[in-house]
Amino acid sequence: MSHENLNGCIILKDLHYSVADNTWVKVNDDGTVTVGMTDVAQNLAGPILHARTKGVGTGRRKGKPIATVESGKWVGPVKSPISGEIVGVNEGLEADAQLINRSPYRNGWVVKMKPENLDAELADLETGDAAVASYKAKMENDNMAGCTHIEGSDTYE
């Protein structure tokens, strides 16, 4: 999977990003989408202690919370980058919320959703080199030095 490394912050180029809300969307073959937090998000939050997802069957408009994430220093929502119904949640997060820190794009995904208006809403998200450029600008704007990773984190080659 092609990726960019911005001072340690990994951006996978084939995902669709809400750069402002630090979330990603992956379009699956079965028409659902997988949603998660970005590497930048896990880094800003620090080691995550609890991640509570909304239940399967919950309908969410874009921008509304699909999960609440708590770290030692921060609590906040994971805002849904698209509108739709939650059709699956990552059960692994209940026992080990730091999956999000170690594997934000793989094992630490947050929910799967059945999108309502995917094509139009994907157009509002950024992907590929455009997403990388946006993240670069955001990190400069926020004076963010880069990302660090806890032990056992995914590696990218």
Question: Interface residues with another protein (CB under 8 A)?
Answer: 47, 49, 54, 64-65, 68, 70, 72-77, 79
Nearer to another protein, 46 or 128 (CB): 46
Q: Toward another protein, which CB reaches closer, 25 or 41?
A: 41
Q: What is the CA radius of gyration of the chain?
A: 14
Note the Cα 137 to chain centre separation in Å: 18
SS3 at position 10:
strand
In whole angstroms, what is the distance from residue 115 CA to residue 45 CA? Answer: 27
Identify which of residues 21 and 126 has a Cβ nearer to another protein in the complex. Answer: 21
Burial of 55 (0-12, 13-18, 19+ CB in 10 A): exposed
Which residue is listed with tokens 């069957």? 57
Instruction: State the nearest-atom distance from the C-beta of 29 to another protein, in Å.
Output: 31
Q: How far is the CB of 133 from another protein (least distance, A)?
A: 25
Residue 74 CB, nearest distance to another protein (Å)?
6
> Closest CB to another protein among 10 and 67?
67
The CB density around residue 92, as the number of other CB atoms within 10 Å, is 15
Helix (H) or strand (E) holding 9: strand 9-12
Distance in Å, CB of 40 to another protein, minimum: 15
